[in-house]
Amino acid sequence: MTVTDRPATDTRQVGQPVLEASGVTMRFGGLLAVNDVDLTVREGEIVGLIGPNGAGKTTFFNCLTGLYKPTGGVVRFAGTPRKPESAKRQVSEAEDAVAVQPLEALTPLPPKPRAVVRAGMARTFQNIRLFANMTALENVMVGRYCRTSSGALTSILRGPKFRKEEAATRERAQELLDFVGLGRSTEHLARNMPYGDQRRLEIARALATDPKLILLDEPTAGMNPLETKQASDLIFKIRDSGLSVVVIEHDMRFIFNLCDRVLCLVRGEALIEGTPAEVQSDPRVIEAYIGTGEDDEDEPQDTVTEEETR
């Protein structure tokens, strides 16, 4: 019943779009952070989002997930922000794999984080934003919030429905912790966990919302080569269980190994979209990265060498 049970490739149906963002534009006053960017993500696909610092990658993520209200464009998603179903249904669902229900038709998403999560798009943050003083297990259980329904009165009365839902939530959270390899540290406070574990915990928390599409914002920032390898294994594992993944990353070797398609943003605009090989060899991408150095606006940790971009 874990996410890993799903065979690696044969059930993957790359083809149907999960997310279709068209003409997304975000303007902060006079600053055009994201300008008319299109992105289509298909089921079971890993899409990379690269670009120099300040290119608008995270802003684009925020527009997709409703943290920002885009000034232009529309985000359409294969799923509606549905209400959580009854506890009974939850239990049977929890025994299934992560997502993989037949896709619904694409509908426009309202720019509200809750609605976006309910529709089935979850994310992690560039600078880790865990609930620092909750345990790992509790962090993941919070992720189940939008898929459960017991209210205050139910929680006080504690009927069988509540117990069932609570047990299912706990079980599911434990399962996801096992999935990302944190099954042994469920009772550790998030803030006391090692950096790499915090990243993985954030992914587990996002997975707990039963997403169809997961957006990872620099999942390997600050990691050593071994941890980076583990992270890419984990992302493959997530993809193999039927989810689509969009990942922002600066580590070019990582991204070109991982992704089916890569979109390169420069100064808020889509420079090129294509297979890793195409993007890798595009002279404009190399120029944008090595370029003039003007692009270093707010993210100081960017260290992409010439060697990596080749």
Site residues (vs other proteins, CB under 8 A):
65, 67, 113-114, 117-118, 122-123, 125, 129-135, 138, 141-146, 148, 150-152, 155-156, 158, 162, 165-166, 169, 185-189, 191-192, 205-206, 209
Minimum Å gap between C-beta 272 and other proteins is 29
Minimum Å gap between C-beta 23 and other proteins is 24
Minimum Å gap between C-beta 106 and other proteins is 21
Give the full edge-to-edge strand order of the sheet including 17-28: 31-42, 17-28, 72-78, 106-108
Minimum Å gap between C-beta 225 and other proteins is 27
Complex with other proteins: residue 145 or 236, whichever CB lies closer: 145
Minimum Å gap between C-beta 98 and other proteins is 16
Minimum Å gap between C-beta 279 and other proteins is 29
Complex with other proteins: residue 138 or 273, whichever CB lies closer: 138
Minimum Å gap between C-beta 255 and other proteins is 23
Complex with other proteins: residue 16 or 80, whichever CB lies closer: 80
Complex with other proteins: residue 134 or 272, whichever CB lies closer: 134
Q: Of 281, 122, 287, 268, which is closest to residue 208 (Cα–Cα)?
A: 122
Instruction: Give CA 3 to chain center in angstroms.
Output: 16
Complex with other proteins: residue 42 or 212, whichever CB lies closer: 212
Complex with other proteins: residue 146 or 223, whichever CB lies closer: 146
Q: How far lies 259's CA from each of 26, 43, 48, 244, in Å?
A: 26, 13, 6, 11
Complex with other proteins: residue 53 or 174, whichever CB lies closer: 174
